[in-house]
Amino acid sequence: MKIFDKLISSVVPLVDENIDTDQIIPARFLKATTREGFGENLFRDWRFDDQGEMIKDFPLNNKKYAGKILLAGKNFGCGSSREHAAWAIFDYGFRVVVSSYFADIFKNNALNNGLLPVQVSETFLETLFRNIEDNPRMEVEVNLKAQLIILPGMALSEPFEINPFKKHCLLTGKDEFEFLLDHLESIQEYEKRSFYTLETF
Amino acid sequence: MGKTLFDKVWNQHVVREINDGPLVLYIDRHFIHEVTSPQAFTGLKEKGLQVFRPKQTIATADHNVPTYDQHLPIKNALSRKQVSTLTENCKTYGIELYGLGHPFQGIVHVIGPELGITQPGMTIVCGDSHTSTHGAFGTIAFGIGTSEVLHVLATQTLLQYKPKTMQINVEGVLQNGVSAKDLILYIISKIGMGGATGYFVEYSGQAIRNLSMESRMTVCNMSIEMGARGGMIAPDKVTFEYLKNREFTPRGNALENMKSYWDSLKTDEDAVFHQELTFHADDIAPMITFGTNPGMGMGVDEKVPSSEHALNGETYSFDKSLNYMNIDAGKPLLGKKVNYVFIGSCTNGRIEDLRQVARVVKGRKKAPNITALIVPGSRQVEVMARKEGIDKILEEAGFELRQSGCSACLAMNEDKIPKGEYCVSTSNRNFEGRQGPGSRTLLASPLTAAYTAIKGYIADVREIL
């Protein structure tokens, strides 16, 4: 997993609430057997019409906006568990998603792929949307070590929560999988007292 | 202080806790399918690992398979490759596969319970958000991403944080024509699609206790549509009766031993949930959704609300949603012409659902404008339906019973709803384009969907019950 420490970038805003993973990456693009290339179809049906023409005022296409931070309305990433959604956002070039809350599975998938979900208050989210509307190329700083999201030009900031373990993984690039693999002995020990490890088949 | 059902099952599965960190949670059963597993197997290969407990993982092909001519090679090259990749991976790693043609094949959340693989007190995961279905048996069951599929394959555990608990109590008795699907759509319409985010839900109360096992699965299935990690129902006599003589449930003394454990799986009287909600079954009518998230639902005979009534002030998304659906606020949906009906999915693709459909269509004819897809949730459901003559009843009414799979619920195969068309669907998600680019989904129960297929427009099934 790639290390995440600090990012200063302009922002692409999506004001919609409850953006589901079917919008992020429609199911018809889930036929691949590898992890690569999903960015091409990120928000496919919002970015392109049914003739394949670019929808110019959609924020990802709108030249006003650019950057590695995606800002979205609350409950981002709800719906299907497809990790392809996190892969697509990362592959497209985003490194941070900011919202007032995230669907649980998406949040976990993002963290497992070095994509940082930053949960802010509804008020701060509104402030961000408003300022970006006024100044589309405004830069925002996301500092993981300090757990702060900062609007450098405005002297505005808000702390954000992240689990210490997940933070450690992102800061060091360590995959939580490696950590689990270190526990195989205690897992075998556990199995001796479990009801259901008996082979069913 | 007493413990909730969730606490009891969770605590039972904690391998170890880590200071300031997640805990290692043991997973009893792991289901995999063709769409969310290939990259996990690639991860195993890259690290030179084996599947740690291959006998605790069960595979099926369901998401991306055709629902007719399943004996022939899959036409779409990418789909064919995805399914054959699953077959190869299962062979390489010694995993039991119920692939196309196998008598146990079907939607992963339909086959687990019907084969008796799903048992009370288990932890169950799958790379699919509707894994919450299995919670109907008093299991902790939840959807995971592909990275976590790899973790389970390699270690039979996951790193987890304990979610908060919520109790949803439904008192009273459901009225005639009101099913489990209506009950869960009603709850989601009240608390919204993010209303249970961060929580694990236990459903309780008279209306829940009165539900059959299959109806309980419908309720737990849609827990994810209000953001819950999962939903569960304490096992009782209904559960034990259902489990008897299933392919993989214990027999004789072994079953009696398990039963005494299963009996202990209930929330203690003095247990406290982080949040408790109560609803009344009398308030619930047959439901239908009008928007592009499952929380945008109403009684089928009501008028579509305007954005002033949007939950949590979500007015922008509400209006955008009505615009996508081309549905006007203030107008009823009854009588609205629809050309497509989909009956199936892990929500409503079980035998009980097909029986409800047969009850409505028997002796009637499909409306000429309707294209209907009726897709059994599994091969076993299909076989039962044919044995009971449901296929004949459907044929006489102008319908056809397909072969099993996820089908038009997510439209990965060729079962798609065309752009701009409405589909009354028994599935679980009405997201934009979910059933095909530009499609417009209205979620409802099998009874409502079947009656709509007869009338050719949205209709209230209570008229004929």
| Per-residue model confidence (pLDDT) at position A198 | 59
The C-alpha atoms of residue B421 and residue B33 are separated, in whole angstroms, by 30
| Per-residue model confidence (pLDDT) at position B257 | 87
Q: Is A126 on the interface with B (CB under 8 A)?
A: no
**B14-17: strand order across its sheet:** B14-17, B23-26, B157-160
CA A169 to mean position of chain CA atoms: 15
Set of chain B residues whose Cβ sits within 8 Å of the Cβ of A195: 12, 28, 121, 258, 261
The C-alpha atoms of residue B305 and residue B285 are separated, in whole angstroms, by 16
Mean pLDDT of chain B: 97
The C-alpha atoms of residue B236 and residue B253 are separated, in whole angstroms, by 19
Q: At A48, give phi and psi (nearest 5°).
A: -130, 145
Q: What is the 3-state secondary structure (H, E, C) of B227-252?
A: CCCEEECCCCHHHHHHHCCCCCCCCH
pLDDT in tens, B285-306: 999 999 999 999 999 999 999 9
Are B198 and A81 within 8 A, CB to CB? no
| Per-residue model confidence (pLDDT) at position B442 | 98
Q: A69 by DSSP, 3-state: which? A: strand
Q: B105 by DSSP, 3-state: which? A: coil
pLDDT in tens, B345-395: 999 999 999 999 999 999 999 999 999 999 999 999 999 999 999 999 999
| Per-residue model confidence (pLDDT) at position B254 | 87
Are A81 and B144 within 8 A, CB to CB? yes
pTM over 0.90: yes
User: From first to last of its 201 residues, what are the pLDDT tens digits of chain A?
Assistant: 889 999 999 999 999 999 999 999 999 999 999 999 999 999 999 999 999 999 999 999 999 999 999 999 999 999 999 999 999 999 999 999 999 999 999 999 999 999 999 999 999 999 999 999 999 999 999 999 999 999 988 889 999 999 999 999 999 998 889 999 999 999 999 999 887 865 554
List, as ranges, residues 113-142 from B with C-beta within 8 Å of A. Answer: 117, 119, 121-122, 127-129
CATH superfamily of A6-162: Aconitase, domain 4 (3.20.19.10)
| Domain chopping of chain A, boundaries | 6-162
| Per-residue model confidence (pLDDT) at position A199 | 53
Q: Is A79 on the interface with B (CB under 8 A)?
A: yes
Q: At A195, give phi and psi (nearest 5°).
A: -75, -35
Set of chain A residues whose Cβ sits within 8 Å of the Cβ of B150: 177
Helices (H), B285-373: 315-325, 345-348, 351-361
CA A89 to mean position of chain CA atoms: 7
Contact in structure between A75 and B194 (CB atoms under 8 Å): yes
| Per-residue model confidence (pLDDT) at position A2 | 85
Set of chain B residues whose Cβ sits within 8 Å of the Cβ of A180: 24, 151, 154-155, 157-159
Are A109 and B147 within 8 A, CB to CB? yes
Contact in structure between B411 and B438 (CB atoms under 8 Å): no
What was the ipTM of the complex prediction? 0.96
